[in-house]
Amino acid sequence: MAELEVIKHTKKMHEIATNEKHSTFKKIKEIGLEIFIIVFAVSLSIWLHGWSEHRHEQEQVKKFLLGLKSDIQSDVDDSKAIIKQYQEFGKVYTALNNLDKNKPYDQEDLKKQLAYINTNVYLRPKIYRFNGFVSSGRIGNIENDSLSLNILKFYQETISEVSSSESGWMSNQKKLQNYLEENVNNPESIPDNWSVLTKPKGKQLTKNLIPWNQIYERYNNLVNSGETIIKQINEDLKE
């Protein structure tokens, strides 16, 4: 549309310039007016295009943030459940670590506790929406700098820290599993498992599986960071 206006007024400028009936002063005046109209039309067109583009970008951002809020809420809920599971692991491995070869034990309790040795839990973060938005180069379209920085930190740092702690815990679990597999003659025998677990190495391996503070700190940090982002998104979308 702007191009047509430019062509139209350029032709008119030419007509004015070649019109012998008009004085030089009148030609300058009318050509000046046409130039003003052209500049105004082009500027308006650029502004409208920019406004439309910005509006489209912000619609995409809104759609992304709504989806991201759901993803992060899911990660937060999963993390809270995982914290409870680690607390249960703490009780189990504390009990296994307290086994004493010189003291009696409850076979039924030990049987239940042994079942946990092949059980683990870890976060499966919802990262695909975030990765897609970032890879498309649109993360900069989020106008709230604090929100965009918190989102980047959540996915690129906080989740990585949680994954690192999970890997450490599961590595220790694998060591205990291998130790039992190599040393227990009859895996179905509760007394055989008890005998191996009460040896010094067995006690050390069970002690290493009592969740350490860092695991809880990193999960709680994920929960707190996620809830902060959700709050920021809610505030931004209200505007």
Domain extent, residue 30, equals 2-47
Flag whether 52 is in a domain: no
Residue 219's pLDDT band (boundaries 50, 70, 90)?
A: very high
Residues 142 and 190 in one domain: yes
Flag whether 135 is in a domain: yes
Q: Which long-range contacts (CB under 8 A, 24 or more apart) does 166-174 make?
A: 166/122, 166/123, 166/215, 169/120, 169/209, 169/211, 169/215, 170/120, 170/122, 172/205, 172/208, 172/209, 173/117, 173/120, 173/209
pTM over 0.85: no
Q: Please compute the mean of the pLDDT values over residues 33-52 and round it to a whole number.
A: 60
Residues 109 and 22 in one domain: no
pLDDT at 20 over 90: no
Q: Give the per-residue pLDDT at 135.
A: 83
Q: Give the per-residue pLDDT at 140.
A: 77
Q: What is the pLDDT of residues 110-149, one digit of tens each?
A: 999 999 999 999 999 999 999 988 888 788 788 889 999 9
Flag whether 56 is in a domain: no
Flag whether 55 is in a domain: no
- How many folded domains does the chain comprise? 2
Q: Give the per-residue pLDDT at 1.
A: 47
